[in-house]
Amino acid sequence: MAVPSDVVARLTGRAVSEERQVSGGLAEIALADGRVVVVKRSDAPGAARAEAAGLRWLAAAGSVRVPVVHGHEDGWLVIDRVPQGQPDPVAAVRFGRDLAALHAAGAPAFGAAPPGGPVDAYIGLAPMRNEPGDDWPRWYAGQRVLPYLRRAVDQGTLSSREAAVVERLCERLPELAGPAEPPARLHGDLWSGNVLWAADGQVRLIDPAAHGGHRETDLAMLRLFGCPHLERVLDGYQEVAPLADGWAGRVGVHQLFPLLVHAVLFGRGYAEQALTAARTALEG
């Protein structure tokens, strides 16, 4: 197997001066010209390709910044390192405006993969299929909620009786989804750990599960796992692209997808949160 420094030298065309292992699948590599890049390793088929395609698709919108992608090969991905800063309210407002512009860049369909990205992609460590659809409630139920619900039941994380609550919500999605919206260009895994507050005062997004989706899904994930200065982020977003009436009451609907993914990966605690979100949406 290739070593990280060899991969970086090939993909950047630059000599390597130093390598620092960060974790089992992540290393920082200093180049001879003074730049520092990050090299990531994934054994999941197509994961590096999917992440590279997602980052490039987000960058093409010309709004939210992402690390420069130097390339990928055989499960390796090489991107620029992001020098870390501190969360800042001014940067938060700017991030909200830029996120609105990213979403407005659009996608060919709900579930559309980034150009050059695989249909079978990932959200974190979980497989995620990018199967296009033109009706958001039907697509969201069939491609985002129900596949993970079935896996959670098969694993014993949820009972069939509990799963019926989520299934009822899926049946009612056409009336709970709010006004129809065009497919947005989503980051797709927008929890706070993938929002980097850089030293230059700009936010960078990493580790996307990019696809065409509903813009409220990205915003719901920001709220689910916490984001510094979230209200300022939302203020900036609403300045550029006001959200449809009732959006705050739909947050739980959009959180079902990431909660069920986490239930599959990490167990019962997230399954209970998913049930609470579903019951609250049904009662609302």
> Residue 257: which residues within 8 A CB-CB, separation 6 or more?
140, 144, 145, 148, 217
Can you tell me the distance from the alpha carbon of 274 to that of 284, in angstroms, rounded to the nearest whole number? 15
Using alpha carbons, select from 81, 80, 82, 77 the residue that is nearest to residue 7: 77
Helices 146-155 and 160-176 pack at an angle, to 10 degrees, of 170
* 167 CB neighbour count, 10 Å cutoff: 16
Catalytic residue among 6, 120, 135, 189: 189
In a 3-state reduction of DSSP, which class is residue 127? strand
Q: Please classify residue 78 by burial: count the beta carbons closer than 10 Å to its beta carbon, then call 0-12 exposed, 13-18 middle and 19+ buried.
A: buried
Contact 212, 111 (CB under 8 A): yes
Contact 29, 10 (CB under 8 A): no
Contact 112, 211 (CB under 8 A): yes
Using alpha carbons, select from 39, 36, 57 the residue that is nearest to residue 48: 39
Tokens of 139: 């697509």
Is position 200 annotated as part of the catalytic site? no
Could you give the residue numbers annotated as active site?
A: 189
